[in-house]
A = this chain, B = another copy of it.
Amino acid sequence: MRIYLAGPDVFLPQPRQWAEWKKAVCARHGLIGISPLDDAPDHTAGPGALPEWQRIALRNEALIRSADAMIANLTPFRGPSADVGTAYEVGFIRALGRPVFGYSTTAMPFTQRSRDFAMGHGGALAGRDRSLRDADGMLIEQFGLTDNLMLEAAVVGSGGLLIVEDVAPDTRWSDLSVFERCVQAAASVLRRQAMS
């Protein structure tokens, strides 16, 4: 089973080294990890003619299409939510009808993260209906979830699992133990699906 490894890990220093480490974890659990940095089969007529950012995006999309499932690093990135590039990729594989698994190394609930962010940007206001809004009047979700409902619903609805575990803040991006727990869970679910 080929599993696409989505996440802002591509922004780490030495991203190829991290990709290799993650692939090694996948291999230990019988899965083939696919990194966004991998080469993809021919995916455009003339890749040379496109700017780098478009070539990267088309390569990632081709790699996702080539995968059987996805594991997404949904750890909050520059704000209360996951990286938008990762969210985009979760939506992409979800539309293809394939399972998506997620993990986060930050356990603080989304509602609290959003409220904390709002407190640092003009305040948060509770309405009489117990709703919560930021200084722009924009609602703060209170579903008790890990992030925006579309992300968690995609994971659950696709038959995947979300693994959330707090690690020391300075190891939020370097920790691979939560990732490994997610890989292990994914391998088990995918094996069960393949047998049924």
Contacts and interface: CB of A to CB of B under 8 A. Distances in A.
Interface of A: 8, 10-13, 51-54, 56-58, 60-61, 64, 77-85, 87-96, 114, 117-118, 121, 133-134, 136-141, 143, 145, 147-154, 156-157, 172-173
Nearest to A55: B153
Name, among A83, A133, A152, the residue most crowded by chain B CB atoms within 10 Å (CB to CB): A83
A91 B80 contact: no
Name, among A54, A147, A150, A173, the residue most crowded by chain B CB atoms within 10 Å (CB to CB): A150
- Interface SS majority for chain A: helix
A60 B8 contact: no
A50 to B, nearest CB: 9
A94 B61 contact: yes
